[in-house]
Amino acid sequence: MGIDLEPHRRHHRGADGEELAHGYSRETDAHVHAEESALAKLPADDPRLVGATIYSTLEPCSERRSRPFTCTQLILRSPVRRVVIAWREPSLLVADCVGVEVLGEAGVEVLELPDLADAARTVNAHLL
């Protein structure tokens, strides 16, 4: 099972590998983030989220002005306890993104795949 490297795309997979939802930035409006979009497609109490994994090209945001909750907070409010990312949030977007650290401190397993960082940067070149 790989990470979809489309720009800002997030996948949520259940414990059995089934894709539960996907989302991408600006999918529904100019301010929606990918994690937010994908999580909104599932009921918060969906039992398949227990044991699910979020796959993401970028680290979940830990700072946000356009919404009441960051993507890190949205993940923590869900039963998802595993996040896989390819690339840490670049400092040009957020000076000190701490999504990985906050998730880890809360008991969420975060796996960074640095071998995929160059591919993630390539598809997100419009951000740089």
pLDDT for 14 equals: 67
Separation between Cα atoms, residue 61 and residue 63, nearest integer Å = 6
pLDDT for 12 equals: 60
Sheet holding 82-87, edge to edge: 19-24, 9-13, 53-58, 82-87, 109-112
- Please say if 63 is a catalytic residue: no
pLDDT for 29 equals: 93
Dihedral (CA of 117, 120, 125, 128) sign: negative
pLDDT for 79 equals: 92
> pTM score, two decimals?
0.86
pLDDT for 3 equals: 29
Model confidence over 27-55: pLDDT tens digits? 899 999 889 999 999 898 988 888 888 99
Q: Which of 6, 18, 27, 35 is catalytic?
A: 35
Positions of the chain with pLDDT under 50: 1-8
Phi, psi of 86 (to 5 degrees): -100, -25
Q: What three-state secondary structure class fits 103?
A: helix
pLDDT for 10 equals: 54
pLDDT for 51 equals: 86
